[in-house]
Amino acid sequence: MSVVSDRLPAFPWDRLEPYKATAAAHPDGIVDLSVGTPVDPVPEAVQKALTGAADSPGYPTVWGTPELRDAIVGWAGRRLGARGVTHHHVLPVVGSKELVAWLPTQLGLGPGDRVAFPRLAYPTYEVGARLARAGHVAYDDPTELDPAGLKLLWLNSPSNPTGRVLSKEELTRTVAWAREHGVLVLSDECYLELGWDADPVSVLHPDVNGGSHDGIVSVHSLSKRSNLAGYRAAFLAGDPAVLGPLLQIRKHGGMMTPAPSQAAAAAALGDDEHVRVQRERYAARRAALRRALTGHGFRIEHSEAGLYLWATRDEPCWDTVAHLADRGVLVAPGDFYGPAGERFVRVAVTATDERVRAAVDRLTA
């Protein structure tokens, strides 16, 4: 057995290829709503910051420039309501997926340790546990987990794929439980600035953590809120006792965000206006797709935030994928995110306005 097949599940997106071919055969072309890839322009100020730092012949620092750390600290206070955050509370990373996949290994987890994540979840949480050869467990309520051997607890609010938002009360209860049992909390908050029917709250908010960052780290990305997926710009914020050793490990591993991307990230975090503009784009696309889906017989669950609609026709998800592919629309089957999603599909709202209109026309014809 190969090392890959022994340690990792099959790459799920390969299974979607035949349906992608069907959708692509539509006379008016495919509308790909399967992956949440940004399609809108990178903000001009961010592009200027990138090009202004293009002459960067030296190695960048793993900890990031002081300007980037200043920008993260300022944003965390302004947007998350975090208090007492300093440079020692933040750490840039090379995209959030890299962090999720390798964090258990970098933390020294291995056989006998366990990683927990939501029952409906981004599959890379499980991949990270498998890469470290640690155990993994999915949960409905994290406070009902057996804490024995549990070292890392992933939260994800707003959720990918469902768009569910955890309330302040749920977060507070979970953080208290994790601290009681000595479990590190990693809160994936990459969609936090994209709340629609709810206002997402960070674990860094003092109402959640009681004014202490002990045992909690939040994960943030500029890919969605600033259209920077191609820049691989993300960061951590939280407990210095976790981030300090992690910084040293990442220095040894050479995990450096490129200097131009660091400059771009600092510019993006310092500008709230482009986020407002992008939110308006996504809000309009989301509203149009939601109306079209419900009119086509779908039921939407959760989806209070984020860039996806969690939709069902109360049938096996692959039947729904085939139904929509026949109409030239490609979506992600819910079972990519765990068996609990087997009767749902995830519909991304990240296509262009023109492609969204095409999807709406096909669904309402």
Hey, how many other C-beta atoms are within 10 angstroms of the C-beta on 138?
A: 16
By residue count, the chain amounts to: 365
| pLDDT per residue of the chain (365 residues) written in tens, 0 to 9 | 444 556 776 677 789 999 999 999 999 999 999 998 999 999 999 999 999 999 999 999 999 999 999 999 999 999 999 999 999 999 999 999 999 999 999 999 999 999 999 999 999 999 999 999 999 999 999 999 999 999 999 999 999 999 999 999 999 999 999 999 999 999 999 999 999 999 999 999 999 999 999 999 999 999 999 999 999 999 999 999 999 999 999 999 999 999 999 999 999 999 999 999 999 999 999 999 999 999 999 999 999 999 999 999 999 999 999 999 999 999 999 999 999 999 999 999 999 999 999 999 999 98
Buried b (16+ CB within 10 A) or exposed e, 175-198: bebbbeeebbbbbbbbbbbbbbeb
Q: Which domains does the chain have, with CATH numbers?
A: 3-41+274-364 (3.90.1150.10), 55-271 (3.40.640.10)
**Per-residue pLDDT at 147:** 97
Task: Tell me if 23 sits within 8 A of 330, measured CB to CB.
Answer: yes
Residue pair 279/193 in contact (Cβ under 8 Å)? The answer is yes
Q: Would you state the pLDDT for residue 1?
A: 41
- Spatial CB neighbours of 79, under 8 Å, sequence gap ≥ 6: 192, 193
Find the distance separating the first CA and the last CA of the chain, reported in whole Å.
49
Consecutive H or E run containing 356: helix 353-364
